[in-house]
Structure formats: C-alpha cells, structure tokens
A = this chain, B = another copy of it.
Amino acid sequence: MKKGQNICDVESCFLCKNSLEEWKPAISAHKTTYKVKKGEVIFKEGDPVTGIYFVNSGCIKVYKKWDKDKELIVRFAREGSLFGHRGLGKGGFYPISAAALQPTVVCYVDIAFFEATLKVNSGFTYQLLMFLTEELKQSERKMRNLAHMPVKGRVAEALISLQNQFGITPDGFINIDLSRQDLASYAGATYETVFRMMNELVNEKLIDLSGKSIRLLNRDELLKLAQDIVFL
C-alpha cells in the first residue's frame, strides 16, 4: 500500500527510534523476518510466550476469543507496530491471539533477548512504558464504552478509530479491508446488530458504503454519537 519500500523494520520502528541506535547490530542478529498469509494465526491465547513481534508490512488483529465463535478485537497493529508484548511479565502465556488481516511480513525477536534489552536500555524501556500507558488508556476507555455506550455509538467510534488509524483512500474510503464480522468484533457486538446500526448510519447520511468499503460523511455527528469530544 505504501510505496513498496519497507518504511518500518525493527530498526526503524517508531518505538525504537532514538533508543535503539546503538542496538541495531544486536537486534539484527536476533531477529527473524517471515511472511504470514491473510487469515493466518501467528499465536493464540494460551500459547507459551516465545517472542515479541513487529509488523514490517501489512496488518494484524490482536483479539481475545470467547465461546469458539465469538471474539473481541482489542487492537490492530500496522506497519511499524509492536505486538505480542502482552506476553511480557508473569505467566509466560500470551493472553491474546494475533492473526493477519492481509498478507503480512512480521519480524520476530525472542523474548529473552527482548527482556535483556529492556533491562539494559532504559530509554527504550521508558518509551515502551509510555506506549503501554497509552494502550491502557485506550483499553479502559473501550471498557467503559462496552459497559455503558449503546452499540450504535460503539460502531461510530470504531469507524472513527479505524479512519484515524488507517487513513483514507483518494476517494475518501477508510483505507482498510475489514470483514463485517471483524468490524463487529471490534465494536464488541454481533454481526447482525452491527449490520443494522450501519444501515441506520447510512440512512442518517453519516456514512456511505460501497461494497465493503466505508466512507465517513459526517465525522462530527459520528463523534457526537460516541458522546465524547476529547478522543483520539
């Protein structure tokens, strides 16, 4: 989607910039880069933690399962994003699953080396700390929304959040190819309910659909639905 060059690798990842300069050679020696197909699961909840991943190109979803055919998408990781870091700390098992939404190239650093890096490179640790703080804020915001905000508002927020994360194509559609089921899992509701809410949003001229592509027509009204002005 971008200009065909790797704008992100572990070494150039936004998180690591400035912090891993002197670490580059060591990282390169410890990383493994490989491709995953669309739909392929990289690791599952309960799998023993083996390493931390970076998205080189493509996109993956981080999710938690419920009941075999229900899930909640916790976040997406795009080019330049870290994932699998929830495997840090106690337990030794990933608490979430990760699967590719597109053909994706990931790069992998084994956990022992990653933790060793953290212990030594305090600038990096500090940046990771800030990153986790932001994730925690997002997560708790979403928690409250799941508890109290109606599905329509959650769909509105999910759409805005997707646009913020993935941007838009030249003709104004959100620049990600997501199944309706995944959209529902991201909003934390069933496919059918989300489908109805999308219809309502279309009737209210807040969004516009073309195939599975979605275009936001009235961001302000959508934000009002999400009842929160200060956000992302």
Contacts and interface: CB of A to CB of B under 8 A. Distances in A.
Given A122-B125, A126-B125, A139 B133 contact: no
A148 B148 CA distance: 14
A147 B72 contact: yes
Interface string A160-203: 00000000000000000000000000001100000000000000
A interface, size bucket: 35 or more
A86 interface: yes
A132 interface: yes
Nearest to A75: B140
Interface stretch (A2-10, A29-37, A62-70, A217-225): A62-70
A46 to B, nearest CB: 8
A133 B125 CA distance: 12
A70 B148 CA distance: 8
Nearest to A134: B89
A183 B95 CA distance: 26
